[in-house]
Structure 1
Amino acid sequence: MNNTPAWLVTHDNSEDLGFAFDCLIVGAITLGELKEWIYRVIVEMDEFPDYLIDITDIRRKHDLILDYQDVIGFWPYSPLKRTEETALVGIAYARFPDFRDDSISRGKARSALEKSASLQERFARHFPAISIADDTGDAADILVSGWWLSGSEKKILTGAEIQTLFINQLATGPLSTQLETDTGLKLQVVTNRERMMITLIEPNGASGHATDTQAGKGSRGGFLLDNGQEDEYDDVDTVAIPDALNVIVYILTHGTPPQEDWKVDVLGR
């Protein structure tokens, strides 16, 4: 008989149980799905701790989280990187249409999930029967979590509303616009209605802006700031429309700058 444990679910090493708990807490799986995984663990292991049976008797997720000391006796721990925790939230967004997380936007979570192949493989090993749908929706139709127009009443905007905001800016609206989130991100966009200067400021003080490496060595003025100052920028430091709108949508849905054509201006603290 093989005495090597198929799953790490004991007090000495609870990494697999901890991962299953993490999935439950963020909303990537239901309590029923956690129990199904435990039934599988029990079948596949020669010996298993009694508290696995006790977990299957729990009827509400809330009770398991609050009474874990009585049910298990310790909190199972699985060392996840912050990006992997965000990726788990991405699974919750993918599986449950009504899911919302006040601190992590759908775009940021799904982006983290797409970039974390190891997290996807680990989730598939635990829950092979669960499929994760690809996010094929139009970014403008996705709810952008947490962004609002700076200097106005805090009203969370959808992707479609923000897209309309910048289209109006290109027509007759103000040439300078800033959006912000509860997380501290700020997106500043200044335009001369031909090109856009797009700057993202992060909570740690880091900042950067979109670039156009194909723009050549020219420069243009007409970028009017809120304080009345009119700036001139090198074309390489601004982006032509409609490419600029695509950059804006990417930042709003992912919460991070694009990997290409981006220049760091200030390093974070």
Structure 2
Amino acid sequence: MTETWAFAGDDIAVTPEEAVAGLRQRITEGSLETWFTSSAGHRLSLLPRTERALVMLLGADGDPGGHAVTAGARGLSGGFRLANGQCDTYPDEDTVPLDEALGIVGQLIGTGVPSAGAGWREDG
């Protein structure tokens, strides 16, 4: 069986294109923290800001997962607003440009793994 993905809280599977279009709509509407769940129990998160985004992929319970990175990037970016209202700051190295993040999410939903060209760091 192929792994399918849906926006968290929704049972309708989405294609990579539908996921990215849905993310763009959510960002436009100001709903920034977005989670996806998969039929295999994985969780995928996109936490965007105006120019950069944090992308995390978590495996089964207890698996620390991994996140997209921009190797060698310097500086900090703030304004990453969580659904609970908390506003976080992350090193630019632990985030990627927003358009790249959307591409990574589409790739992950389509294949279950980040593209070979994406910077990725396993956590834990």
TM-score of the superposed pair, with normalisation by structure 2: 0.88
Residue type of the partner of 1:233?
Y
Q: Match for residue 122 of structure 2? A: 264
Task: Tell me: higher relative CO, structure 1 or 2? Use CA pairs within 8 A at least 6 residues apart.
Answer: 2
Work out the CA distance in 2 between the residues paired with 1:192 and 1:247: 16
Work out the CA distance in 2 between the residues paired with 1:203 and 1:149: 17
Q: Are the counterparts in 2 of residues 170 and 193 from structure 1 also a CA contact under 8 Å? A: no
Superposition map of 1:98-247 within 5 A: 103-105=1-3, 146-150=4-8, 152-203=9-60, 205-215=63-73, 217-247=74-104
Q: Match for residue 135 of structure 1? A: none
Higher-strand-fraction structure: 2
Displacement after TM superposition at 1:160 (Å)? 2.4
**Deviations, residues 153-208 of structure 1 (Å, cap 9, x unaligned):** 31111222211111123322311000011101110110112111000001261411
Work out the CA distance in 2 between the residues paired with 1:171 and 1:147: 22
Residue type of the partner of 1:199?
M
Q: Are the counterparts in 1 of residues 66 and 123 from structure 2 also a CA contact under 8 Å? A: yes
Q: Which has more radius of gyration?
A: 1
Counting matched residue pairs gives 122
Q: What are structure 1's unaligned runs of at least 5 residues?
A: 1-102, 106-145
Q: What are structure 2's unaligned runs of at least 5 residues?
A: none
% same residue: 29
TM-score of the superposed pair, with normalisation by structure 1: 0.43
Displacement after TM superposition at 1:214 (Å)? 4.5
SS at match of 2:101: helix
Q: Are the counterparts in 1 of residues 66 and 121 from structure 2 also a CA contact under 8 Å? A: yes
Q: Match for residue 95 of structure 1? A: none
Higher-helix-fraction structure: 1
